Amino acid sequence: MWNDLKLFTGDVDIPLTEKGVTEALSGGRVVSEIDFDIIFTSRLVRAKQTALIAMTQSRFKRVPVLVRGGFYGKGKTGDENRIRLRDAAAKALETASCWMVPVYADPALNERCYGDLQGLNKTAAIAEFGEETVTKWRRSYDTRPPNGESLQDTYTRSVAFFQATIEPRLKEGRNVFLVAHGNVLRCLISHIAGYSDLEMLQLQISTASPYAYVYNGNEFAECCILPPKHDPDHPVGIMSLGVSCVKKGELDSLI
């Protein structure tokens, strides 16, 4: 509905549409031959829905389990009971890893916040702020809309999380499924490929069209979706980047 009305969605927490569910199933079939060890999504419900729906198509039939508190298990300071429950859940997941796959949701992967533009369509935004100003907010790298984020802000938080949390899992040879949103994936793909700021702004991201990368040592190589042959002496992590399927209308108008 938001896309049909051409509204700025940003980090408003709306669920998938019926079309989004269909696209999540389609994307899941594309990566169905990869046996994922761990899944990362944003905190937004549409990304979590996309990951869970996509995993129903996996031929390995492992059950995705949402882990409360994110990868680092952040809870209230001093809440010892919460920490004990988190640690017990993590241990249970490790024990049952043959048939379960943990899903960690983190706000670092949330879509770019458009601030005061969220909920407005392009025409209304131009009427309120002026066409030149709205265009600058939408298409520049380092300009923030009121109470919102620039693409640079989104890049900083998402890449920092990627380097601190996801790359170490890939170095261990784990297969990672990352499901996020258009601007976040634009940032991560640009980081992996070494794109300039301008190239990042021009990068188009299609919905339900996973990207796959093989991580070998300290470098990434884009690959076909089929997973590489397993070599226990040379562990290789494969990462698939999935797109939250509700975002296409906004992405088409962003560039």
Binding residues, as ranges, are 9-10, 46, 111-114, 122, 138-139, 182-183
Cβ-contact 208, 46 below 8 angstroms: no
Q: Give the C-alpha separation, 142 to 161, whole Å.
A: 20
- DSSP letter at 145 equals P
| Binding site, annotated residues for substrate | 9-10, 46, 111-114, 122, 138-139, 182-183
From 144, 145, 140, select the one nearest 197 (Cα to Cα).
140
Say which residue the tokens 């300071």 belong to.
77
| Measured distance between the N- and C-terminal CA atoms of the chain, rounded to whole angstroms | 21
Q: Give the C-alpha separation, 21 to 192, whole Å.
A: 28
Cβ-contact 246, 9 below 8 angstroms: yes
